[in-house]
Amino acid sequence: MQFDEASLNSLLCSSCIQQVAGFDSLQPTENSWNCVLCFGITDDSFASKVAEEAKAVFDKNPYDSKTFSLSLDFPTTLILREHIFEKIFLAHCKGTLATVPFKVRCTELYIRKIEAVTSLRPTPSSDLGLTISFANNEFNSSDSDFLFRHLPVEFCSGGKKRRLDEDYEEGLAARYTKVKVTNIMGKLSDEARRSYKFENPTQACEIVPQFEREAVYIAGRYCKFSRNLPQTKWTDEENTTYPLPDSVADIISRVLIKFTKADNSRFSSSGREDIDVRMLGTGRPFCVQLLNSHNTQQLRGEKGKSFLRELQEEINKSEHINVRDLCRVTKEHSDTLNTVVHEYDEDDNGIEKRKSYTALCYSSLPISRDAFESLTSQAPLEIVQPTVVRVLKRRPLIDRRRTIFKMEALLLDDHHFYLKVETQAGTYIKEFVHGDFGRTQPSIAELLQVEQGEVDILELDVDTVLVEWPPASCL
């Protein structure tokens, strides 16, 4: 298609004629949504309608925010069309906004409309985002065919001309994404651009306004007093029933969700104890990510600290857990906690963190007094633990070297004793005691010279998790 003023007749809406083309002689499309360049999105009355729909969504499910930031999600074909129109026609256009990118023109229009009807103030720094999606897929097939015809290598992964799926057209259309089109459209030749046929859309864009708030992160430490409560809900893969209908994560998150009106939450912690293990002392570090919270003003400033103390008291009404040091942290802080967990669960390196445990143990064979008295002098010692049998289904098989820093022991009788140990984080304590079928070297059973029998833990408590958490700057 060569430039010809008359060739734009009935292709553009009145808004695009004024803002982009600048030719008063042009005949506009019958309906604004017939426009080949904007699909009616730049039409003032259409923008007003979209703003009213956004207001309806906000009124139905309000947020306690006075600001918003705006994102517009356009049909993929508009990216391609704007590029081709710019290369073929733009140098000849005289519109008042001809050199202003399409997205900038639309953003200015919609921000103004939405601010007027919602009284929300637009600002890029707002934690409340409004995304308006405009959907029209009727050109996906023809556009993907066009790109495949002119850029077969770039448009198809692997650099081969081949059938992409059993259904050829669907295979091409599946690759017709915004990222793909943006990355390759600059490689189109002028000849290819001129061959593109600007067809009028036959239907208006469907619109979906959606508000979403940035995640809120609440940190603290929890103690668990029950030997019948998991940290998080057990999955179907574990093929068991819940000993209790709740979990630590449920008890904490339920209160936070209720008072912030979040849609959902994600719970993370510095390690985890087994269901039958109590978490005592100052508790285990945790962080809850609250997704799309509708009420967050009460978490800000000094009043936020007071509000979090109220939430802490509400959580602590549970007889099974207790939380402390509840405070708001940043995403970066949360990521740091998750990194610590990863380092000690998956590899041998990282900043040294320690945990201490108290275990009531039983030996099926009588314990030698001499071996028992020499037990505490064995520390510090290094043990080697191949990935323990009970977690092999979800962890890679590697050898983990861990340090046992201190051991204290109290013999109760010939078969029972208390063991208090301080270890490097990531040590599997149960396997350190019973040996995991001889796979952990050395084990308590070996050190006590009763490896021919069975040594196991009857009760286990985590006493301390030595991690600086929450960050002092957040308390």
Q: Supply φ then ψ for residue 269, to 5 degrees.
A: -155, 165
Are 187 and 151 in contact by the 8 Å Cβ rule? The answer is yes
Are 363 and 448 in contact by the 8 Å Cβ rule? The answer is yes
Whole-number pLDDT of residue 343: 41
- Higher-confidence residue of 318 and 243: namely 318
Residue 138 has pLDDT above 70, yes or no: yes
Whole-number pLDDT of residue 345: 40
Whole-number pLDDT of residue 153: 84
Question: Can you tell me which residue has the tokens 């509400």?
Answer: 314
Please provide the DSSP assignment of 168-203 as one string: HHHHHHHT--HHHHHHHGGG--HHHHHH---PPPSS
The two three-digit tokens of residue 218, written as one number = 């609440």
Residue 234 has pLDDT above 80, yes or no: no
Whole-number pLDDT of residue 160: 46
Model confidence over 173-217: pLDDT tens digits? 678 889 999 999 999 999 999 999 999 999 999 999 999 999 999
Model confidence over 412-443: pLDDT tens digits? 999 999 999 999 988 999 999 999 998 999 99
Q: Read off the pLDDT of each residue in 64-88 and give the average, rounded to a whole number.
A: 95
Model confidence over 97-111: pLDDT tens digits? 999 999 999 999 999
Q: Report residue 170's pLDDT band, with 50, 70 and 90 as the boundaries.
A: low
Q: Read off the pLDDT of each residue in 133-158 and give the average, rounded to a whole number.
A: 88
- Higher-confidence residue of 45 and 90: namely 45
Q: Report residue 44's pLDDT band, with 50, 70 and 90 as the boundaries.
A: very high
Residues in Cβ contact with 237 at an 8 Å cutoff, skipping those fewer than 6 apart: none
Predicted model pTM: 0.85
- Lowest pLDDT segment from 146-150, 243-247, 320-324: 243-247
In the DSSP assignment, the letter for residue 138 is T
In the DSSP assignment, the letter for residue 24 is T
Whole-number pLDDT of residue 353: 78
The two three-digit tokens of residue 253, written as one number = 């998150």
Q: State the sign of the Cα–Cα–Cα–Cα dihedral 463, 466, 468, 470.
A: negative
Measured distance CA(238)–CA(277) in Å, rounded: 18
Model confidence over 446-467: pLDDT tens digits? 999 998 889 999 999 999 998 8
Per the prediction, the chain carries an average pLDDT of 89
Whole-number pLDDT of residue 164: 47
Whole-number pLDDT of residue 172: 65
Whole-number pLDDT of residue 169: 57
Which residues does the annotation mark as catalytic?
274
Give me the percent of the chain exceeding a pLDDT of 90.
Answer: 73
Whole-number pLDDT of residue 395: 83
Is the peptide bond preceding residue 380 cis, with omega within 30 degrees of 0?
yes
Q: Report residue 4's pLDDT band, with 50, 70 and 90 as the boundaries.
A: low
Measured distance CA(213)–CA(6) in Å, rounded: 47
Q: Read off the pLDDT of each residue in 360-376 and give the average, rounded to a whole number.
A: 94
Distances (CA, A) of 140 to 84, 88, 135, 171: 16, 21, 11, 11
Neighbours of 325 (CB within 10 A): 17
Whole-number pLDDT of residue 426: 84
Q: Report residue 346's pLDDT band, with 50, 70 and 90 as the boundaries.
A: very low
The two three-digit tokens of residue 239, written as one number = 């093929």
Measured distance CA(415)–CA(229) in Å, rounded: 28
Give me the percent of the chain exceeding a pLDDT of 70.
Answer: 90
The two three-digit tokens of residue 345, written as one number = 């669960």
Q: Report residue 393's pLDDT band, with 50, 70 and 90 as the boundaries.
A: confident
- Beta strands 67-73 and 128-135, pairing class: parallel
Whole-number pLDDT of residue 344: 40
Measured distance CA(357)–CA(81) in Å, rounded: 65
Q: Report residue 475's pLDDT band, with 50, 70 and 90 as the boundaries.
A: confident
Strands annotated E in 292-371: 321-329, 354-363
Q: Read off the pLDDT of each residue in 65-81 and give the average, rounded to a whole number.
A: 96
Q: Report residue 5's pLDDT band, with 50, 70 and 90 as the boundaries.
A: low
Q: Supply φ then ψ for residue 387, to 5 degrees.
A: -45, 125
Closest CA to 128 of 7, 358, 297, 327: 297
